[in-house]
Amino acid sequence: MIIRPAHRDDAMAVARVQVDSWRTSYAGIVPHDHLTQLRYEDRAAKWGRNLDNPAWRSVLYVAEDIPGQIIGFACAGPEHDDTPGYTGEVYAIYLLQAAQRKGAGRALMRACAQWLLTHDYRTMLVWVLAANDSARRFYEALGGQYIHEKTVEIGGTPLLEVAYGWQDIRTLAG
């Protein structure tokens, strides 16, 4: 497995991972109609715009399996919500279902923590849907501590999100 910064050419592969992982990970959590309306082209356009933007203050890492197929990605940068005590944030981390529980998620989180450290962020948080038990266990296994929660709306449905945080990301960065 290879973890590397994403390139503009990766936008469609990243979009496929995002849409496909949403459909498997959030089935029964996020409204079905919302999941079926997700389009690769829309997500690829967003990732392409971000990767093309020289002022983008974030990083996008991809995980490739041996044949060079992108099986996951993570995006991190400055914390968005002014949560007291937290300066960095992992905005997204997604893996194809077949790639889960094989170390790619840990490697992506480590890469994000390393990038945040090199950009002078010492703390980090991540938001996860409260009903996504496997993702919550993943963050807890990595040392994430429950911070707080908020309600978000996805597909017209209010859903609870939980923030997990790391007060010192040096351990996570390896």
pLDDT band for position 61 (50/70/90)?
very high
d(CA 172, CA 174): 5
66-84: average pLDDT: 93
Q: Is residue 154 part of a domain?
A: no
Q: Is residue 107 part of a domain?
A: yes
Q: Is residue 62 part of a domain?
A: yes
Q: Is residue 112 part of a domain?
A: yes
pLDDT in tens, 97-138: 999 889 999 999 999 999 999 999 999 999 999 999 999 999
Residue 66 has pLDDT above 90, yes or no: no
- Please say whether the beta carbons of 154 and 34 come within 8 A: yes
* pLDDT on residue 33: 96
Q: Is residue 171 part of a domain?
A: no
Residue 26 has pLDDT above 80, yes or no: yes
Encode burial over 60-95: b for 16+ CB neighbours within 10 A, e otherwise: bbbbbbeeeebbbbbbbbebeeebeebbbbbbbbbb
* Bridge-based pairing state of the strands 124-129 and 59-64: unpaired
Q: Residue 74 pairs with which residues in a beta bridge? A: 61, 93
148-155: average pLDDT: 96
pLDDT in tens, 32-47: 999 999 999 999 999 9
Q: Is residue 145 part of a domain?
A: no
d(CA 76, CA 125): 10
How far, in whole angstroms, is CA 82 from its chain's centroid?
18
How far, in whole angstroms, is CA 90 from its chain's centroid?
6
Helix axes of 11-25 and 40-52: crossing angle, nearest 10 degrees = 130
Q: Is residue 31 part of a domain?
A: yes
d(CA 93, CA 96): 10
Q: Is residue 144 part of a domain?
A: no
CATH code (residue 28) = 3.40.630.30
Q: Which domain holds residue 41?
A: 2-125
DSSP letter assigned to residue 90: E
* pLDDT on residue 68: 83
59-88: average pLDDT: 94
Number of domains in the chain: 1
d(CA 6, CA 14): 9
